[in-house]
Amino acid sequence: MSKTLDQIVYPGSDQYAPEELTAPGTIPLELHGEPLIRAVDTAYILFQVPNLDRQQAFLQDFGLMTVESSDKTLYMRGYGRAPYIYEVCKGYTEKFLGVGFLVESEDALNSLANKLGETITNIEGPGGGKRLRLNDPDGFWVDLVVGREMVAPLDTRRDALPVNIPAKKTRINRGQRTALAPSAVERFGHYVLMVSDFERSWKWYRQHLGLLPTDVLCTGTGQPVLSFCRLDNGELPSDHHTLVLSGGPEAKYMHSAFETIDQDAIGQGQQFLKMKGWNHFWGLGRHILGSQIFDYWLDPHGFEVEHYADGDVFDNRHPTQYHLFDRGGLWAWGNDVPAAMKPKPTLKLIMMAMFGSRSQKKLLSGLGRAISYAPRPWLK
């Protein structure tokens, strides 16, 4: 049996009964055998929005660069080697469409396409390549990609800043001056989905991307309800999570996150975005699971996007850890989660609690209890 990580301690975490704290891990998340294929990196994220110009203006202030744009589609890159990491097409409504992943080999992709009876198509965007477009159980696209032509990274600061600590002063006769500028995004790091059936989605993503569960959150009865999933790159370390799957009353995009160099870049980037009048959402802070320094924004169409830096990485030997699901475990320091992130008793939720299936009712009651605790005793 797995046990809870003892470093997840925050003011208020002592409010749980011993049986609630020992329940996580009693129902393990199954790996469902060998996956059909393995993803090795993120490629891009895909959206549809009504106003491409406004989306582009925000994304440029957020730290992405335009690669190609037309009145139908916009391709944006980061400062890293990917030809683009963000594709958005014009449409009547705003919509999250899906995500592309680089997979281990073309042979593996061909064999999966044959097995599924699906067709591999050419990618039209910059860098080309081929993709197999799949639909996850909730209908979101998952593109399995090979053969993209990588590009030269763009010039930006990639070294740590010299930091003075009490016992060691390395920066002498000069100040710490970072530019007021967009926080240069290096790469597309991860995304978070609420899924309508957690078990079903976990099984699908495990089989089609080869994900490993890094940290799994459970209700007080031990039922897994959320998983931080990382890529399996063998002995090479992968980000703590590339995809987070969270069980819930509906399927929806929660947020996507873009890696930058460090806290100073994120802080100056926050100042820059505020100066431009965009909508700040949450941060700065540091997460507990994954440890990232984070800062969340709302794009002009209401999608949450995150800058992050200094996240944890794990290789494939790191065992899955199980924890109690609650709001307080989301962050180590920083402000409380914004009101918009707190669950509201919507009509849909109430109907589901009254008339939903047995498993839906069980999930809602477990989640309801988990999120009913005040995350910090001094916060309302």
Dist. CA 359–CA 80, nearest whole Å: 43
From candidates 143, 306, 310, 326, binder to Fe ion by CB under 5 A: 306
Find the binding residues for Fe ion in span 257-286 (CB under 5 A). 257
- Of 196, 205, 325, give the one whose Cα is nearest residue 248: 196
How far is CA 293 from its chain centroid?
13
Task: Tell the smallest beta-carbon distance from residue 330 to Fe ion (Å).
Answer: 10
Task: Tell the smallest beta-carbon distance from residue 51 to Fe ion (Å).
Answer: 25
Dist. CA 37–CA 132, nearest whole Å: 12
Question: Residue 257 or 273: which CB sits closer to Fe ion?
Answer: 257
Structure tokens at 221: 């009865």
Question: Residue 42 or 220: which CB sits closer to Fe ion?
Answer: 42
Instruction: Convert 212-233 to b/e letters by CB count within 10 Å (16 or more is b).
Output: bbbbbbbbbebbbbbbbbbbbb
Task: Tell the smallest beta-carbon distance from residue 322 to Fe ion (Å).
Answer: 20
Structure tokens at 121: 């198509």
Question: Residue 20 or 299: which CB sits closer to Fe ion?
Answer: 299
Structure tokens at 10: 């925050």
Task: Tell the smallest beta-carbon distance from residue 289 to Fe ion (Å).
Answer: 10
Choose the stretch contacting Fe ion; rule: CB under 5 A; options: 176-184, 209-217, 259-267, 301-309: 301-309
Task: Tell the smallest beta-carbon distance from residue 224 to Fe ion (Å).
Answer: 19
Question: Residue 20 or 186: which CB sits closer to Fe ion?
Answer: 186
Task: Tell the smallest beta-carbon distance from residue 83 to Fe ion (Å).
Answer: 24
Question: Residue 215 or 306: which CB sits closer to Fe ion?
Answer: 306
Tokens 């100040």 correspond to 175
By CB under 5 A, how many residues form the interface with Fe ion? 2
Dist. CA 216–CA 241, nearest whole Å: 11
Backbone angles phi, psi at 153, to 5 degrees: -65, 155
Question: Residue 295 or 306: which CB sits closer to Fe ion?
Answer: 306
Q: Is the dihedral of CA 284, 195, 33, 116 positive or negative?
A: negative
Question: Residue 52 or 293: which CB sits closer to Fe ion?
Answer: 293
Question: Residue 94 or 306: which CB sits closer to Fe ion?
Answer: 306
Task: Tell the smallest beta-carbon distance from residue 110 to Fe ion (Å).
Answer: 33
Q: Are 265 and 162 in contact (CB under 8 A)?
A: no
Task: Tell the smallest beta-carbon distance from residue 293 to Fe ion (Å).
Answer: 11
The angle formed by the CA atoms of residues 47, 123 and 117, to the nearest 5 degrees, is 100
Task: Tell the smallest beta-carbon distance from residue 243 to Fe ion (Å).
Answer: 10
- Of 149, 119, 117, give the one whose Cα is nearest residue 132: 119
Find the binding residues for Fe ion in span 229-258 (CB under 5 A). 257
Question: Residue 257 or 367: which CB sits closer to Fe ion?
Answer: 257
Q: How many CB atoms lie within 10 A of CB 189?
A: 25
Residue of minimal CB distance from Fe ion?
A: 257
Dist. CA 368–CA 356, nearest whole Å: 15
Choose the stretch contacting Fe ion; rule: CB under 5 A; options: 29-37, 117-125, 302-310, 351-359: 302-310
Q: Does 310 bind Fe ion (CB under 5 A)?
A: no
Dist. CA 131–CA 112, nearest whole Å: 12
Q: Tell me which H or E stretch contains 355.
A: helix 347-355
Q: How many CB atoms lie within 10 A of CB 210?
A: 24
**Torsion of Cα atoms, 138 then 141 then 146 then 150, to 10°:** -130
Binding site for Fe ion (CB under 5 A): 257, 306
